Amino acid sequence: MNEVPYVVLVEDDAVIAELIVYNLTNEGYAVKSFRNGKAMFDELLEINEVCLFILDIMLPGMDGFEICRNVRANQSFSLVPIIMLTARGTESDKVKGLEAGADDYVTKPFGIREFLARVNAQKRRYNASMNYQQDALVSGVPMQTPLQGTPTSDSSDLHVRSSSAAGILEHAGIVLDDVKHRVFAGNNEIEMTNREYELLKFLMQNRGIAYSRDDLLNHVWGYEYSGETRTVDVHIRQLRRKLEKDDANPVIIETVRGRGYRFCED
């Protein structure tokens, strides 16, 4: 059995599928290619390990959005990054894909160098997240249980708790456990896509600092999007829906006029 994690591709256009498989293989990736969602799900559990999904949107039967939602609902693959391929490039398609749980999208026709850069960026961030969790577990560092005690509003105490408990970030009633890759708001665990999680973690690690959309794309997504800042807005909106008591009047993830976004400091 191949020990290299697979990139799983679902693309019904044989020419595009062959181009993607050829270039990913040359980059050192192992690739499993399918023509439709049913074929992929029939074999998915037989694949040793998956490091990335690449899903076309316009597919026969089950479209890319439905495949994306079903992948996210499977605990075994819920954190694996997903790149969507769209032929139309409309904002509504892109937003729908991000809301379904995708981490990125590529518009056809695409340049192969940009495509590979996006694939490599997703793979690096996924590997870094998995390696961090594995190292923390192997080291045997005692973890603070996120739901123990009542969160305090004193910011200095929060800094002490965050630094003394490996992988724990806590502020404004939000607890992020970076070893277990879990997020809690009060007594409720919040389900998140991998990209929502990474964005929240970055903002919490740098709370009080305002970042532009371009800054967030560079830091969280790992490369420049050439102005595709709508991606950040969609993810911020999703985080607010999940974390804020009133997402129309956010107090945790703030909008900074003329700048971008920041995680509240107080």
Here the CATH number for the domain that contains residue 253 is: 1.10.10.10
pLDDT of residue 124: 84
Tally of domains in the chain: 2
The answer on 59 and 165 residing in a single domain is: no
User: First CA to last CA across the chain, in angstroms?
Assistant: 52
Query: Does this model's pTM top 0.75?
Result: no
Report the range out of 8-22, 109-123, 231-245 with the highest average pLDDT. 8-22
Q: How confident is the model at residue 62 (pLDDT cuts 50, 70, 90)?
A: very high
Dihedral of CA atoms 128, 132, 135, 140 in degrees, nearest 10, equals -170
pLDDT computed for residue 225 by the predictor: 53
In a shared domain, residues 112 and 214: no
13/94 same-domain check:
yes
pLDDT mean over 13-38: 95
- Three-class SS state of 83: strand
In this structure, are residues 8 and 36 in contact, taking their beta carbons and an 8 Å threshold? no
- DSSP letters, 127-186, are HHHHHHHHHHHHHTPPPPPTTSSPPP--HHHHHHHHHHSTTEEEETTEEEETTTTEEEET
CA dist 227 to 3, 11, 45, 212, 232, Å? 38, 27, 37, 12, 11
19 and 60 share a domain?
yes
Mean pLDDT over all residues of the chain? 82
CA distances from 53 to 77, 84, 86, 122 (A): 9, 8, 14, 10
Is residue 105's pLDDT more than 90? Answer: no
Q: At 87, is the secondary structure helix, strand, or coil? A: coil
User: Which amino acid does the sequence have at 233?
Assistant: D
Judged by average pLDDT, the poorest of 91-95, 210-214, 248-252, 254-258 is: 91-95
**Residue 193 DSSP SS3:** coil
213 and 172 in a common domain? yes
My answer on whether 19 and 65 are in the same domain is: yes
Strands (E), the chain: 6-10, 30-34, 50-56, 82-86, 104-107, 168-171, 174-177, 182-185, 188-190, 253-256, 260-263
Per-residue model confidence (pLDDT) at position 4: 76
Under a CB-based contact definition with an 8 Å cutoff, are residues 225 and 216 in contact?
Answer: no
For the chain, counts of helices (H) and of strands (E): 9, 11
Same domain, 76 and 19: yes
Q: What is the pLDDT of residue 132?
A: 57
Q: Is the domain of 170 the same as that of 110?
A: no
Mean pLDDT score, 226-247 = 83
Percentage of the chain exceeding pLDDT 70: 81
pLDDT band of residue 44 (cuts 50, 70, 90) is: very high
From 96, 129, 162, the end of a domain falls on 129
Q: For 1, which DSSP code?
A: -
Q: Which residues contact 99 (CB under 8 A, 6 or more apart)?
A: 234, 238
Of 31-45, 122-136, 141-155, 247-261, the range with the lowest mean pLDDT is 141-155
Beta strand 253-256 pairing with 260-263: antiparallel
76 and 33 co-located in one domain: yes
Q: Which residue has the higher pLDDT, 161 or 13?
A: 13
Check residue 211 and give its pLDDT. Answer: 94
CATH number of the domain where residue 36 is located: 3.40.50.2300
Is residue 183 one of the residues assigned to a domain?
yes
177 and 249 housed in the same domain:
yes
Q: Is the pLDDT of residue 161 over 50?
A: no
Question: In terms of C-beta density within 10 A (0-12 exposed, 13-18 middle, 19 or more buried), how is residue 16 classed?
Answer: middle
- Do residue 19 and residue 120 come from a single domain? yes
Give me the domain span that covers residue 251.
142-263
Per-residue pLDDT band for 12 (boundaries 50, 70, 90) equals very high
